[in-house]
Amino acid sequence: MKKLCICLLSLSFSSLATTTVEGISVNNLTSLHYTGPVGWPTAGRPFAPPIYNAERDQLIGLSTFGHKDDTAPSMWGLAPVHGHYFALEKDIEGFVGFAKHPTEDKLYSIDTKGNIFSVHSDGSNKVILFDNTEQELNNTPNIQPIFDNQERLLFIDTDHTTYSRLMRLEKDNTLMELYRFNNNPHGDFTAVGGMLLSGNTLYGYLGYPRGIPHLNTLSIDDNFIVGALYAVELGENPIDTLPLIHQFTLSQGEVPWDTRSQDGGRIATYLVEDEEGYLYGSTTIGSCFTKGINSFSGKEIAYRNGVCGGSYLFYSAIEKDQRLIHTDYPHYDGSNPHGSLFRIKKDGSEFNLLHTFNGEDGSQPRGPMVITETGFLYGTTIGGGIHKSENIQVLEGKDYPNQPHNMSPDGTIYRLNLADIKIENGQVIQSGFEHVHSFKAGIAEDSDGKVPTGLMLAENGKLYGTTIFGGRGYSDQLGRTFLADNLGTVFEVDLSGIKPTGSVSISITPGKAQLGEEVEVTWSSHNAADCVATGGVAVGDWVPDGQIEPQGSIKISPDSGIYTFSINCRDADVGSRLGALSTLYVNAEAKVKQEETLNYGNGGALSFAALTCLSVFGMRRFRRRGSKS
């Protein structure tokens, strides 16, 4: 008989001490990994919040590609429980998220080839609507697409250096250029930020490149014009002129214009509208780079600036008096290095900076914002906060780097209580601002990511988002164990602030069996109710999507193959979600043909090769936790 193994992966929420507002909890759901935790599909960095399918209670997200094998999803799904993401459509890499079709059960987006595509709301049935083989569009968009009132997709096409243009996908899937932005008063190209449609008026940001701080900036005068807000009525024909409702000065903050790099600098600023007709938005710095000195040639060059989180190319002296970055943090030459939040009427009147960040309460507010029914505006900053880390993978047995000058802040969640905003005679008396949460990367058990990309408000009343970096530890498909990862995470913001008290677990004995051998699957729980078998295929009395008791045991003798058994329960005390997953191998080899797959619950599919190693990861996690009890 082959060596037996018992496989267990317990999926429980983490308690994060850095959430400062009572009544709110920020919960880590999963980490995405390029080489995949053993047995999980591989993925890349997510640059936008996921979207939520209420009917299936499922999150769907896009990322850059993972390791090039048959499990790499790029497009992934996740039941909103801490744990296991699964592959959806293959070969869809994305820098921007999805736009929901106003009437059809479809999601639209743009991939990193410049193709415009749709999928059903469950992530299936990919259709290329506009094929960019002729490269009519740039392949690195960074602005979320939206739909107009005629159910046509509006999006921004830009190469990030020479042109930006507003495009529309017609109903026959042809393209129309609505406007080519050329509004920069300084003669350079015009960058563009996030869009908002209110009625038939399109609002959005314009960014005017000022140059790399300390290297080649055009001006450091507080009154220097660095961007604008526009408002234009949409029609059937291209736009003739673009009316501006506000111009930003350097003291108010910049609009991101240097959006080429694959880190937080790609994330745009967005607008949101409240019930009284006010627009809310943010300013930040224009470029996440700053002047550095090449320590080998002595030449001045642009290096990543730690103020934006993510990678940080600041080092202490390599040789006498030589450093990569020659200025002190935040390495910025303007008077507003961390960015601000503003409010403005849609006609351009009543513009006010509500809050200017100081670094510890956040830095560089970017990404989609949301307003809840209770009148709170929530958003994220890609930098700032009380935690700093290096963007690095750490192998087991190695020390995590701990050199402060090489670390950058991990980012934050903030909110505005709109009812608390008080402005008198143009002066902000009360801003309504509250710091909600500081993200935390590194090897800590409560790490939840680094450089958040914004927020999405789901129909279940919770907020969801992703981070670009800061994933938790895992064991990859090459047999290496990492204590921390440099790819991103998916997180939940529970506005009820109620933390689960229950737990769920599954064990399989033996976890690896011969054909015909009897196997026992046992599950148990504490303070759990309404349990459902959510994964794998039907085996004996185990029926996916079927109700099961909170604890029980079955004996089975399945055919050859690899089987996942997962449970999704409700916490009996507070109603939160709990889950557990385990895997059984019956006469299964580590590698099989790509077409030999078993469906995983919620519509995804994992290959046999992907599932093979999942239990190993679960067993390692279980052993680590068990050693602390």
- The 3-class secondary structure across 305-356, one letter per residue, is CHHHCCCCCCCCCCECCECCECCCCCCCCCCCCCCEEEEEECCCCCCEEEEE
CB atoms closer than 10 angstroms to residue 293: 18
Within 8 A by CB and 6+ apart from 519, the residues are 508, 509, 510, 513, 555, 556, 557, 558, 584, 586
Closest CA to 225 of 202, 209, 240, 204: 209
Question: What's residue 313's pLDDT?
Answer: 76
* Alpha-carbon gap, residue 499 to 576, rounded angstroms: 7
CB atoms closer than 10 angstroms to residue 434: 18
Residue 108 token pair? 């639209």
CB atoms closer than 10 angstroms to residue 608: 22
B/e letters for 185-211, b = 16+ CB within 10 Å, e = fewer, are eeeebbbbbbbbbeeeebbbbbbbbbb
CB atoms closer than 10 angstroms to residue 561: 19
Question: What's residue 174's pLDDT?
Answer: 97
Closest CA to 465 of 455, 474, 457, 479: 455
Distance of CA 383 to the CA centre of its chain: 14
* Alpha-carbon gap, residue 563 to 443, rounded angstroms: 31
User: Strand, coil or helix: what is 419?
Assistant: helix
Question: What's residue 497's pLDDT?
Answer: 61
* Sign of the torsion angle spanned by Cα atoms 588, 589, 595, 599: positive
Q: What stretches in the chain show pLDDT beneath 70?
A: 1-17, 37-39, 68-73, 83, 315-323, 402-404, 497-499, 534-537, 588-629
Residue recorded with tokens 């660095």: 226
* Alpha-carbon gap, residue 286 to 281, rounded angstroms: 15
Question: What's residue 571's pLDDT?
Answer: 82
**191, 255 Cβ separation under 8 angstroms:** yes
Burial class (CB in 10 A: 0-12, 13-18, 19+), 251: middle
Q: How far lies 626's CA from each of 8, 12, 395, 551, in Å?
A: 12, 14, 21, 21
DSSP β-bridge partners for residue 435: 414
* Alpha-carbon gap, residue 129 to 118, rounded angstroms: 7
* Residue 330, preceding peptide bond in cis (omega within 30° of 0): yes
